[in-house]
Structure 1
Amino acid sequence: MDDLQARLKDLEERLFDPAVRGSRQMLADLLSADFREIGSSGRLFDLEDVLTRLPVDPEDIALRALEDFDARLLSDGIALVTYRATRASPDKPAVRTLRSSIWRLEADGHWRMLFHQGTLMR
């Protein structure tokens, strides 16, 4: 389980990387074809929404960090990841969120994110 935890943490952190967030192909490599996200705004996004919006999102210059990372197998090839994230921008207050993701081991042997949700911490 330690190997899986380290692998999934690495994949989550890749999604924080501005180079990955700025690349439609790199994002597509990490997200499942039937990906869904509930953003901290409460809005529902699908894969195409994310692939279209993230590469041009001006907030992506922000630094992101995660803490309290945990990964748990829900069944064979399905894992739940939870953590706290902080997004810091030079000209804005830091934003803290609780995050959860469901990762699936797909037929090609790669883990891809199937679902993600962010909840603002107050």
Structure 2
Amino acid sequence: MNRETDEVRAAIAGELRLMDPDVRGSRSLAQELLDPDFVEVGASGRRWTYEEMLAALPEMDGAAASGPRYEPSHFRGVLLAPGLVHLTYETTLNGNRARRSSLWRRRGADGTWQMYYHQATPVPLDGV
């Protein structure tokens, strides 16, 4: 179910910004988008904390402006509760597909949206 609310659009915009090489290469820009309680379970199965992700992001796939970029598709979003959005989508990078899920929550007096949780699951080459 895709409810294109302002909240869902804000979460999708944040997700797309996190795929931007300029954001991936800048700790201060990435900090704006990641919740201090952020956790990720990556496609490799590794668990990432906020600090680990901020430190590694500039070296991760999709961070080089001249390199391959994530190609996102099939965004679906649901407002789970006031200030909490669940997104699902797919990405392709270098021919590798992943299904992704993230939780975004609105924080602070200014209502900033930040990613609280992210999970990536690789899709096998014959996966549907």
TM exceeds 0.5? yes
Alignment root-mean-square deviation, CA: 1.3
1:43 and 2:46 are equivalent in the alignment: yes
Q: Structure 1 or 2: larger strand share? A: 1
- Structure 2 gap segments, 5+ residues each: none
Q: Does the residue aligned with 2:70 lie in a helix, a strand or coil?
A: strand
1:68 and 2:71 are equivalent in the alignment: no
- Counterpart position of 2:97: 96
Q: Deviation at 1:56? A: 2.6
**TM-score (ref. length: structure 2):** 0.85
Q: Does the residue aligned with 2:54 lie in a helix, a strand or coil?
A: helix
The runs of at least 4 aligned residues of structure 1 exceeding 6 Å deviation read none
Amino acid at match of 1:77: G
Amino acid at match of 2:68: A
- Counterpart position of 2:116: 114
User: Using the alignment, how far apart are the partners of 1:111 and 1:58 within structure 2?
Assistant: 23
CA offset digits 1:92-118 (Å, max 9, x no partner) = xx1100000000011231010000000
User: Using the alignment, how far apart are the partners of 1:42 and 1:7 within structure 2?
Assistant: 27
1:78 and 2:79 are equivalent in the alignment: no
Q: Structure 1 or 2: larger helix share? A: 1
